[in-house]
Amino acid sequence: MVGPLPGATESSLLIPLPCNEWGGHVDAAGAGRRFVAIDVETTGMSPVRGDRVIEVAATIIEGTRICDEFSSLICVDCSIHPAAQKVHGIDGAMLREAPPPDDVWPRFARFISGAPLLAHNASFDLSFLRHEFSRLGQAFFNPHHCTLALSRRLLPHLPNHRLETVARHLLGGIPQDCRLHRALDDARLVALVWLEMEKRRGPG
């Protein structure tokens, strides 16, 4: 849950999930529950060293269906480390017209509300989210689940537990329109991976 944010009156960016390879229904356990799969792309590896979030996305899971989405680039006063840019492909020109943090984070907070969050390597994403909200004078303490940790327990035989590796194993492949290491598509993959792992774990 995120503390009250001043000026958080604008509705979140809701994008209907397109009827393509992402739009499927996964018959998973947990009907009636709500989770939000998230992902961030950043200027570097550590908020302690001054790195910032430059893209954030969230995908809502209602019961066993993937429904609404939130996604935004974020214009920050911080250079992008070349190693980070090589991973996600986001450069300064792409951020020039993006909204600033104090516009994006209140909308993001409204979108996720107090729902439990899902992330692959959750400690990384959450460290950046806590840092960004602390800059606004707000606490960030939504409960969360880490699909990386869960995949290591459920799928110890995999050669590695990167999101794309786990997704290929569980889903039979990556959707053709997926842009790995961009926040929205990674959040979508996290949602699908979570649903499939929940189905395999079964009730309880």
Q: What is the pTM of this model?
A: 0.84
- CB-based contacts of 93: which residues, under 8 Å, 6+ apart? none
Per-residue pLDDT at 64: 86
Paired with 57 in beta bridges are 39, 71
| Identity at 119, one-letter amino acid code | A
pLDDT tens digits along 58-68: 999 998 888 99
pLDDT tens digits along 21-45: 444 444 434 445 899 999 999 999 9
Give me the catalytic one of 81, 145, 169, 181: 181
Going from N- to C-terminal start, the domains of the chain cover: 34-199
d(CA 195, CA 190): 9
Active site residue 181: yes
CATH of domain 34-199: 3.30.420.10
Q: How many CB atoms lie within 10 A of CB 98?
A: 17
141 within 8 A of 1, measured Cβ to Cβ = yes
